[in-house]
Amino acid sequence: MNTTARPGMPTTALVSRRGVVAATPSVIFALLAAPGEHPGLDGTGEVQSVIEGPQRLELGSVFRMRMKGYMTANTVVEFEHDALIAWRHRGRHVWRWQLRAVPGGTEVTETFDYTAKRARRLVRLIGIPKRAGTAMDKTLTALQARFA
């Protein structure tokens, strides 16, 4: 794969949202590492249920989810217990969650990383980063409400 950036093409393509949740990193991580909890965390309304996969994710875990109108396979590509978990969708984009203990709870950062996507320009043109940002706002708000 060519990793050289073309002129005018950003070398990374990230959308992130951050918020503080009144729970410990271990409590939040337990939710993120349990695919069965993902429908309740999802701000898009797209994640419906687990089709197959482990009850608890770890590095290299593969899990399939039923989405609204399609199914997706994901592989855990980054994992640091109670601090970081990320999974790659078959479309090559990555959903990453970073957790950091702060006074009053945990700073949660959710990132949609489409750097490895071949059609980054198309992804931007059809508005996926904007929709991902809106969904992440909803996800973080729901997570904050869950522990309020």
What gap in Å lies between CA 53 and CA 35, rounded to an integer? 8
pLDDT number for residue 83: 99
pLDDT number for residue 126: 85
User: Once rounded to an integer, what is the mean pLDDT over residues 116-142?
Assistant: 88
Higher pLDDT, 7 or 77: 77
CATH number of 14-146: 3.30.530.20
Q: Indicate the pTM of the whole model.
A: 0.87
Question: What percentage of residues in the chain have a pLDDT greater than 70?
Answer: 92
Band (11; pLDDT cuts 50, 70, 90):
low
- Answer whether 13's CB lies under 8 Å from 117's CB: yes
Query: Where does 13-127 have alpha helices with state H?
Result: 25-32, 38-41, 120-125
Q: Mean pLDDT in the chain?
A: 89
User: Once rounded to an integer, what is the mean pLDDT over residues 117-131?
Assistant: 84
Domain boundaries defined on the chain:
14-146
Cα 73 to chain centroid distance, Å, stands at 14
Band (6; pLDDT cuts 50, 70, 90):
very low
N- to C-terminal Cα separation, the chain: 45
